[in-house]
Structure 1
Amino acid sequence: MNPAVSEATALVMTRLIKRQAEVARAVQRHLASDIADLRGDPEILELLASSVEGNVDTIFHALRHNISLENIEAPTAALEYARRIAQRGVPMNALVRAYRLGHGMVLDVAAEEISRAGLDPETGFAVFERMTTVTFRYIDWITQQVVVVYEDERDRWLTNRNSARALRVREVLATDAGAPDALTTALGYPMRRTHLAVVLWCPSESGSEDGLARLEQFLREVAEAVGAQGDPLFVAADRTTGWGWIPLSPNTAAAVAGNVKQFVAAHSTAPRIALGTPLPGVDGFRRSHRQARRAQDVAIAGDTDGVTAAGDPGLAAAALLGGNLDEARDWVADVLGPLGCDTDNDARLRDTLRVFLRHGNSYKSAAEELNLHFNSVKYRVLRAEDRRGRPIGDDRLDVELALLLCHWYGTAVLTPG
């Protein structure tokens, strides 16, 4: 480097080092004011100030004494600040943006000091060019350091937090563990609300490495779509399954299952979903989850896509009856006979008979629901009785329950065609 430029750089940096504390305070105030994500409690703001001071001190002295960047270490406060904001969920881009803004302010102050130093234009330009080159290299290097620390801490902290939260959730599901307000604080979820329990899972053959992250994000999207009264709660049940709860107001609870189905139907890549019914308080938190788990069992056994809701007509009874599918299959065969075969024609006959019986033997009402002609319903009901081999009247309840099992479990309880 030109001796004159080196001497001028040392002069300017000596002047800047005297203003170091002032520069650091100005940068800290500007960052906290301009980047909303960096505002926080006094402790985190104090650590931001220490991080700025550490970076300013490091780069100023590196320039003053011509220290190579290969021979410096990242300021301890800067690394710790990256860890703390990772724990608080501050976006990484806010951290990187802070370094860019801080760099710009430092260069502005440097330009002022170069001007005040009375250097000739050529030397002044050379000094500023050197300072720009070195500081850009430093910002590139330090941001790589803090980003690595941020990502490592975020992964570690989320793992620990989610593990602790999942353990607490399982305690709540298993026992009467704690008062609502205490649980709200522990879980970060409003336990006094009405809760819609959700089970989300990806098909095992999907092989997605980010499956749980996708499930959590989809739960958030569903919660927003149905007007949740707060952030949903998500915990991992296993590698491909998540348990969730959406806090609702009583006014939106009644229609929420239909709204979830509508939302999911519009997303071709949606995971499979099982819903409980919306129920209030801590006990509702548990009961809705149990319902969602039973709905999931039915959906898996019946290989059902989309949304399976505990409030769907007949599902709760089907879940109880389907506890042992081998016995259920034998019983369905005994009750329905050939009508319980796994063929397309028998499926049409079963669905028609099921709707007919649910409407109190009304051909007209069944025809309206099935969008069929009155005579078509009557013909199919007669054909269903013929396939069964005996009339329905004597054991109508058994027939209805067997048809219900066929509707929800499909092939799992049918006789091969």
Structure 2
Amino acid sequence: MSSGSVRGATDELLRNTAKVFLTDPTVIRPIREAVADATDRRFGSDPAISEAIGEAAWANTQHWARSMYDDPQRDVEPHLTSQVVGIARDGYRWGEEATLRASYRAGERATWSLWMTIAFSLCDDPDVLLPALERASRSLSLWIEATVSALIEVLEQERATLSADQQVRRLELVNLILGGAPAPPAGMDRRLGYPLRAAHLGVIVWAPAQVADREALVRAADRLGRVAESRNQLLVQASASSLWLWLTPGVPVPPEAIETALAPYRDVRLAIGSLDEGVDGFRRTHDRALETQRLMQTHNAHPIGFYDDVAAVLVMARDDARLREFIHAVLGPLALAPQELRDTLRTFIHQRYNASRTAELLFTHRNTVLQRVRRAQSRLPVSLERHGTNVGLALDAMHWLNLPQP
């Protein structure tokens, strides 16, 4: 094969390999996992930050693969999108700047492993395969180094501003408490402007990374504080797309009032922990809000979630097979019925079998509620009077986990 033919075949193999990266959405999964594994556990376990890491990994991989597809012989320039810069900036604010290079190198290794696997599956001619792999390896290494250097330069330019940011100092203090400091240093309440020994309600306020608007998040948090008649409020910017909020509510927080307050902010989501007291309660209510957020992000698109509403679902979700058996045994044909029947019966049970209150919440007539409840009951293999708790749990699981019909 002539040198020109080898060059053409090499470029074709590089483009075909890149095409798999661009068209197969499952390719990015091991790259995202590798980047997440190389990130500090607390930083990477935050659901909004985990999502942002995934968005940045996807944007980076798509950019490099697209560049290789367009011109395999041209070196790839850094692609500093808002997601890529945003998660690097969040890492700095968390004190995770040192892991930046490690996470990018982990992503590089995962990308290279996948690239080789795909290339070997597409070609077995060593005269074509070897120069193609050599070119891809060099391109990937140079691009990773250029990207990391460009990000570090951006962070260096912002270092003074970020270091002086009150939110950065507040995040450091809060992470110290959440990390398990046995007794917060004297004066911590004053430094945070918040009483750590009060009765707290922890909340995560966030939006999908690609549409997050910090001002909208702050306004939504402020509205929630007013609805709860909170005596004190601590707001921490955890990432570019999420805020951590602690309230000391003066009144119980009704879901309908929260939904009304949140209505102007279409992209904003709320995960609400349970009321708890003291420094340990400060940690627990936040951890429960995080669990609720993780459930909401993983399984469904409901904009508001209370830990108290999903605690049982979180436990049941740990064993998917047994959960599905439970739903099948308890709901029977109702699991296959129109969703409005399940939603109506679920609300009816939550409202202690009060048809008028259910009708009010579902914006429908009381008679309609009663008709739907009768239709739903006729599909149950168990008695609602005796097994109402189990029916409610099974309906909650289908609702919150967004399970497909069996």
TM-score scaled to structure 1, two decimals?
0.48
**Who wins on radius of gyration, i.e. which is larger?**
1
| Structure of higher RCO (CA pairs closer than 8 Å, 6+ residues apart) | 2
TM-score scaled to structure 2, two decimals?
0.50
